[in-house]
């Protein structure tokens, strides 16, 4: 079973790592396309992240970070992709493994890949990004090596909890609400200003607000996931998806409303 999981990881990881390779090659190529990259790097990217500088490796490392975000979420969503594609849930459940062992086979190799690539990003980030971070932009906390591993783990598990169930109809709504709740809850907590009393600097405030929101989202998604997972069997997968929605949907709507309420009640921090 582990060999099967490794093959699935390779199918997802290799194309995305190819994009990273292109990102590292573009600054070295003297072609018109680099003018577009230069515009994004010099005019747009510094405004969003606060990272300013002409180092050739800054933009490729930024691309690498974006690719890792996409890979983390894709590996989470794709953990049970081929069980759905091949209708192999009955086969998987017939294997002599407990539910926790099945989760271990799914999660451990994917996390190992992400941990290795995240360590590489951390090294490159401390060398090529942090020295140019003269002013913390509004999105720098997303690429800050201090917070980056947390976002990778959060994106992976949010995708994993949702990816076990069919991404159709109601599940698409839960996915959208998960994204919106994370965004609006982050904005609401920043308006509440609970971190401003303890932490100075927008970089840390933004990061801690986002971390708090993501932890709350993952907590309620995990509750919905495990309540359904322990009763999962070879019945029509849509039945289990409906059960997951019934548990997850109210919490996602509730967190979204909390974030919006904070934005309305509290003045801008």
Tell me the CA distances in angstroms from 85 to 30, 78, 81, 201, 264, one per residue in order.
43, 11, 6, 47, 44
Same-domain status, 28 and 117: yes
At 44 the pLDDT is 52
Same-domain status, 198 and 100: no
Same-domain status, 77 and 132: yes
At 257 the pLDDT is 94
Of 164, 192, 217, the residue that ends a domain is: 164
Q: Where are the alpha helices (DSSP H) in the chain?
A: 2-25, 33-39, 45-49, 58-77, 81-85, 89-94, 99-128, 148-163, 170-192, 202-229, 237-265
Same-domain status, 132 and 15: yes
**Domain hosting residue 75, numbered range:** 1-164
Same-domain status, 98 and 120: yes
Same-domain status, 131 and 81: yes
Same-domain status, 112 and 124: yes
Q: Which of 85, 81, 72, 59 is nearest to 13 (CA)?
A: 72
Same-domain status, 49 and 131: yes
CA–CA separation, 167 and 238 (whole Å): 10
At 222 the pLDDT is 94
Q: How many domains does the chain have?
A: 2
Same-domain status, 159 and 189: no
At 216 the pLDDT is 93
Q: b or e along 42-78 (b: 16 or more beta carbons within 10 Å of the residue's beta carbon)?
A: eeebbeebbbebebebbbbbbbbbebbbebbbbbbbb
Same-domain status, 91 and 215: no
> Residues in the chain with pLDDT < 50?
33, 47, 50
Same-domain status, 265 and 137: no
How does DSSP assign 179-243, residue by residue?
Answer: HHHHHHHHHHHHHHTTTTTT--SHHHHHHHHHHHHHHHHHHHHHHHHHHHHTT--SS-HHHHHHH
At 224 the pLDDT is 92
> pLDDT tens digits, residue range 197-255?
777 666 778 788 888 999 999 999 999 999 988 888 767 767 888 888 889 989 999 99
At 241 the pLDDT is 82
At 152 the pLDDT is 92
Of 164, 199, 225, the residue that ends a domain is: 164
Same-domain status, 234 and 147: no
């Amino acid at each position: 079973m582990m060999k099967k999981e490794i093959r699935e990881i390779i199918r997802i990881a290799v194309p995305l790592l190819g994009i990273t390779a292109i990102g590292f090659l573009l600054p070295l190529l003297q072609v018109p396309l680099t003018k577009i990259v230069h515009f994004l790097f010099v005019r747009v990217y510094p405004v969003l992240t606060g990272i300013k500088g002409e180092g050739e490796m800054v933009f490729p490392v930024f691309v690498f970070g974006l690719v890792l975000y996409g890979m983390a979420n894709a590996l989470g969503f794709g953990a049970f992709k081929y069980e759905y594609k091949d209708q192999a849930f009955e086969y998987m459940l017939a294997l002599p493994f407990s539910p926790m062992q099945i989760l271990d086979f799914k999660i451990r190799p994917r996390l190992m890949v992400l941990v290795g690539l995240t360590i590489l990003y951390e090294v490159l980030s401390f060398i090529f990004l942090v020295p140019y971070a003269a002013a913390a932009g509004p999105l720098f906390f997303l690429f800050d090596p201090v917070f980056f591993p947390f976002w990778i783990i959060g994106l992976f598990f949010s995708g994993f909890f949702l990816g076990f169930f069919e991404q159709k109809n109601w599940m698409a709504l839960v996915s959208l609400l998960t994204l919106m709740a994370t965004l609006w809850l982050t904005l609401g907590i920043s308006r509440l200003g609970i971190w401003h009393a303890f932490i100075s600097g927008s970089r840390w405030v933004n990061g801690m607000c986002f971390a708090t929101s993501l932890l709350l989202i993952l907590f309620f998604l995990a509750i919905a996931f495990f309540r359904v997972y322990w009763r999962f069997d070879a019945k029509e997968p849509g039945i289990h998806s409906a059960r997951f929605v019934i548990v997850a949907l109210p919490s996602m709507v509730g967190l979204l409303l909390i974030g919006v309420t904070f934005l309305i009640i509290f003045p801008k921090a």
